Chains A and B, each alone.
Chain A
Amino acid sequence: AQSVAQPEDQVNVAEGNPLTVKCTYSVSGNPYLFWYVQYPNRGLQFLLKYITGDNLVKGSYGFEAEFNKSQTSFHLKKPSALVSDSALYFCAVRDMGSSGGYNQLIFGAGTRLAVHP
């Protein structure tokens, strides 16, 4: 069965410092990987995805993520954090190798990012 783990409930970073939000996954086939961000009382907004190709993907608001097949990870990164980056971040995976006509998107539990001035 496919699964996603976000090992940190919260990440605290000082403004201007680099940030990393961790994500590991487990699938039987090839993964499609996604990061979403959620601001208070809002729906989830798409940040970036890995489908195939270059392992380093760049997304919205200066975020990037690196697909590491051997470590089954897809960590979210940003070189210089902003206070406005403070939000809840979700990693998600779809197992494109699973059988059946429906490939469900599985979300991690979320990591709360707090960027301090």
Chain B
Amino acid sequence: DTAVSQTPKYLVTQMGNDKSIKCEQNLGHDTMYWYKQDSKKFLKIMFSYNNKELIINETVPNRFSPKSPDKAHLNLHINSLELGDSAVYFCASSHYRSYEQYFGPGTRLTVT
């Protein structure tokens, strides 16, 4: 009965590959997010998305794209992976009437 789940937990891939990370929430939330945590543990918002708008952090390369098949899912697709993309990626969700954001377990991406 995990509230926010992500797959895979670990992802090791080579430079230049394309990969996706999946996120699902069963909380009935309508807003989902992707955060990146770098090697120094700094957490940074990448995308915010509800059924009305997508907000993209301007510093995120356009190789990254969120895809939402429905309200319970927000997947992250990454093209042409680079070494600097290595990080832990966290999905989160919240309800529009509430302020609280709840995080998934994270996906550790390693690009070699």
A, B from the same assembly: no
Q: List the interface of chain A (C-beta within 8 A of B).
A: none
